[in-house]
Amino acid sequence: MPPDTPLTRRSLLVVTGKGGVGKTLVAALLGRHLASRGRRTLLLEVDPRANLHELAGTPPSAGDLVRVSPTLFLQNLQPAFVMEQVVRDHLRVDALVRRVTKSAIYKHFIDAAPGLKEMAILGHAWRLLHGMGPESAHGIEVVVLDAPATGHGLALLTAPFVVAEVIDQGPFAEMAGQLATFMGDDQQVAVVTVTLAEEMPVQEALELRDGLVERLRRPPALLVINGLYPELPRGRTRRGDPTTELWARRWAMNERELRRLDARWEGPRLRLPLVPVHRGPELVDALLPAFEAGLDDAGVIGADRAARS
């Protein structure tokens, strides 16, 4: 068996996790890291409440693929737009495209066909990586997808399989087949899961892992444990002051959950501290050294490191 392709050499990284655990932050960190190593990287976001641009320090992308730095790109994607692209590719005549996309059957179809919208998101990444469509002119080599918060992102990851099950012919079926093969290839696609060291997020991360093993036959390639409280300084007494008490107990809760993950999560893990920095590019700057050191420790950094040693 060939050795696994390191996480940072794969072409699609899907960042998943419960709402509010710092998924977008981890996507931004991954994007910055990959881009700094010269890989042409796209940060792809599907939440209509765009906020990745805040962390990248650029204006909202408004659906366009915009350049953040020479090797880092950003796009806030509307699934409906991707579906329209597929229609456009097959019809080519603007008047007909409008006719189809404005029709009642089309709107309801998009809503009703299970997995179609989710698949469109993956399809967009796939098309870019395979040099299809006008935006592929940017030469994107790796896509970091900030997955939707609802569900565990499992619906997104398994969408091509669901679509392949319900649609058996035509371009969507073809797309589903290609994407199912792509998503099943762990040399190309990696899932990164984000959690807080708190009971419920950890529980959901464990459930997501089980779901992935069941549906995609593999666990996430990396677990990022975000927002860790620092340990109370040695010799500090916690009694008397309620905030010191809160500090000590939040830290103890983190430790408890870290131990649970140590026992139950096989595979690479990375820890990120809670830092006193407002959300924005400064936060990415502040956490990037710890993040990169963590990638290194977790043993998921790619080929050029291996080549050096």
Contact call for residue 237 and another protein (CB under 8 A) = no
Q: Which of 62, 137, 213, 246 binds another protein (CB under 8 A)?
A: 246
- State how far the Cα of 158 lies from the Cα of 229, in Å rounded to an integer: 34
**What does the alpha-carbon distance between residue 264 and residue 158 come to, in Å, rounded to a whole number?**
24
The per-residue b/e assignment along 124-159, b for 16 or more CB within 10 angstroms, e otherwise, is: bbbbbbeeeeebeeeebbbbbbbbbbebbbbbbbbb
Does residue 258 belong to the site contacting another protein (CB under 8 A)? no
Among 243, 266, 289, 308, binds another protein (CB under 8 A): 243
Does 89 interact with another protein (rule: CB under 8 A)?
no
- Residue 78 within binding range of another protein, rule CB under 8 A: no
CA–CA distance, 100 with 81 (Å, rounded to integer): 13
Q: Where are the alpha helices (DSSP H) in 113-241?
A: 116-129, 154-166, 170-183, 199-216
Can you tell me which residue has the tokens 């099950």?
165
Contact flag: residue 265 with another protein (CB under 8 A): no
Separation between Cα atoms, residue 180 and residue 185, nearest integer Å: 9
Which residue, 57 or 302, is less far from another protein as judged by CB?
57
Check if the beta carbon of residue 264 is closer than 8 Å to that of residue 273.
Answer: no
Nearer Cβ to another protein (231/285)? 231
Q: Which is nearer to another protein, 227 or 268 (CB)?
A: 227
Q: Closer to another protein by CB, 34 or 197: give it.
A: 197
- What is the DSSP secondary structure assignment for residue 16, as one 8-state letter? E
Beta-carbon contacts of residue 252 (< 8 Å; ≥ 6 apart)? none
Site membership for another protein, residue 166 (CB under 8 A):
yes
Considering only the stretches 34-42, 126-134, 139-147, 268-276, report the one whose residues sit in contact with another protein under the rule CB under 8 A.
Answer: 268-276
Stretch that binds another protein, among 2-10, 64-72, 84-92, 213-221 (CB under 8 A): 84-92
- Contact between 115 and another protein by CB under 8 A: the answer reads yes
Q: Name the site residues for another protein (rule: CB under 8 A).
A: 18-21, 47, 49, 51, 54, 87, 90-91, 96, 99-100, 103-109, 111-115, 148-150, 155, 162, 166-173, 198-201, 203-204, 207, 229-233, 236, 241-247, 249-250, 253, 274-276, 278-279
